[in-house]
Chains A and B, each alone.
Chain A
């Protein structure tokens, strides 16, 4: 990966077109056009606005916004992050400004960019999920909804909705009924024994797309203080450390569901993104890499195009799922 906050993509200003004016990176899912299959992942790109000084947001396929809830949430006590081998463990606790403030203060600025706005959302109860989903479904400038049922950090929330296929089925079917206008993505937890069961349930309940994986629950111990490093004790592991697990799950998803698959987990380079597409992803999200280089997503998009050119692939579908045997 190239650490360059000045978009080292001058050869590619504002389009991904080849010599014939065809954008080989373009991909349509759920009726929505992505100029590149590279999206920034929820919780790793703030509200997008934090990155304006480092990159041209118009070059992104989309932005998945930090998980939004009905009311503002303060999140967990500090320390909230710790680096582990090739990874980052976080227990932010889904801190966010709440849906009202997001719509009033952040969205108007985001809307001015030519990129897809995917709003990741969650609730502490089914009722809260429904309320926030309804509001977002009726909000101009929101292109897709991504429902997080898999956050490992909130003791009384997230995890319970993804802990059994039945719980997942219940929440997805209820939310599906209130999301009438926009495509609904369900984001899955990797902290389950058999991801295929959850994939099937989500498809049956009518999700338009599935995204995976969220973070893996982990822990780090302070050997001098004799206690976990994170105040929350456990945290969600992200970054290159989780890529093999994520790839395996995307690979399984490809043969399990027909709905579009959004893959993520440890993508740092265009070649990493290519691996996910070869395993069956339609589009991918870039998370922790945004922390190590604010323009990572754009570099990854350019590197993916270079990879495709080197293999003479003319579209994402030319190689999507090609590694699945």
Chain B
């Protein structure tokens, strides 16, 4: 499926974002879903790199355009900056599970780095459902924090944290979450696996009845449940460990049901 690039903006050396047009992708997407982007732009047939890359749906506009944010980490994301307006991306989606949208609650969103992407549409949807949303947004340095105008309508309160203190509070994103004293009913989080594990621990230490949904990452070969390359170890009700596909049974999981100690 083709999706036309409407905008491709470089934020800094580490981050960029694109707005792409696809009615089908927009119509089938909800907060939490992701899609796969082929390394082949337009009608290219080159086979190296070969495998599609996963990106979270960050926002949907007018039922026909999608925002996604890319962090430059490797072969494909390094080339995304060169994609031009009017080019066609080849995409597969929308894929995966979605966040549960609660109503009229006090909610915390915790994002780390590129993990901010799904939080944008999630925060927007939560607020439309009567929730009060506090966004805790962390990064290594100020370059890991995308401009707040992209976050627009996704929070009521915003707390920015950087590890080196170059923007907002200094430290880890769990610090203000623990210190806030606020009683949250639900927590949603997305970011590096180490951060997710720390957030689950922190939230459980406040009150182990708080619901916590997390968006997990795994290396994906297909994104559609066929390759069995993306398994996440989860804890079943009877305590047994069951591997689930991040791309189909995830990426959104119950945070308390992830066997983090099994993840390398």
Contact = CB atoms under 8 A, between A and B. Distances in A.
Contacts of A54: 92, 224
A293 B222 CA distance: 9
A86 B51 contact: no
B149 interface: no
Given A78-B218, A291-B52, 9 more contacts: A3-B2, A4-B90, A43-B227, A81-B221, A82-B219, A86-B48, A88-B50, A293-B92, A294-B222
Contacts of B51: 83, 88, 291-292
A239 B48 CA distance: 10
Given A81-B229, A239-B50, A1 B1 contact: no
B75 to A, nearest CB: 8
Q: Among A43, A44, A83, A87, find the residue whose CB has the most chain B CB atoms closer than 10 A.
A: A83
Contacts of A6: 1, 24
Interface stretch (A45-53, A109-117, A162-170, A273-281): A45-53
A83 B49 contact: yes
Contacts of A81: 219, 221, 227, 229
18 contacts: A1-B45, A4-B1, A6-B24, A43-B227, A44-B226, A51-B224, A81-B227, A82-B219, A90-B221, A90-B227, A92-B228, A239-B50, A240-B48, A240-B50, A269-B45, A291-B52, A291-B221, A291-B222
Query: Which 7 A-B pairs give the minimum distances between C-beta atoms?
Result: A3-B90, A81-B229, A291-B222, A240-B47, A46-B226, A86-B48, A50-B225
Contacts of A74: 243
Interface residues of A, number: 39
A86 B40 CA distance: 12
- Interface size range on B against A: 20 to 34
Contacts of A87: 50
Q: What's the dominant secondary structure at chain B's contact region?
A: loop
A75 interface: yes
Given A3-B38, A3-B40, A45 B50 contact: no
Nearest to A269: B45
Contacts of B218: 78
A196 interface: no
Contact of B229 (A3, A80, A294): A80
A310 B224 CA distance: 34
B62 interface: no
A160 interface: no
A44 B227 contact: yes
Nearest to B45: A1
B125 to A, nearest CB: 23
A202 B50 CA distance: 34
Contacts of B219: 79, 81-82
Interface of B: 1-2, 24, 38, 40, 43, 45, 47-52, 90-92, 218-219, 221-222, 224-229, 231, 243, 248, 263-264
A58 B245 CA distance: 26
B47 A92 contact: no
A23 interface: no
Interface string A195-215: 000000000000000000000
Interface of A: 1-6, 43-46, 50-51, 54, 74-75, 78-83, 85-88, 90, 92, 95, 231, 239-240, 268-269, 288, 290-294
Nearest to B231: A78
Given A81-B221, A239-B50, A291 B1 contact: no
A106 B81 CA distance: 43
A255 to B, nearest CB: 29
A36 to B, nearest CB: 20
B178 to A, nearest CB: 30
A290 B264 contact: no
A45 B47 CA distance: 19
Given A50-B225, A51-B226, A54-B92, A2 B47 contact: no
A90 B229 contact: yes
Contact of A95 (B2, B38, B225, B228): B228
A177 B194 CA distance: 54
Nearest to B76: A83
Contact of B90 (A43, A231, A293): A293
A92 B92 contact: no
B226 to A, nearest CB: 4
Given A2-B43, A3-B38, A5-B92, A92 B229 contact: yes
B264 A292 contact: no
A1 to B, nearest CB: 6
A2 B1 CA distance: 9
Nearest to B74: A83
Contacts of B243: 74
A268 B227 CA distance: 17
Contacts of A82: 219
A86 B227 CA distance: 17
A87 B219 CA distance: 15
Given A4-B2, A6-B1, A90-B221, A293 B229 contact: no
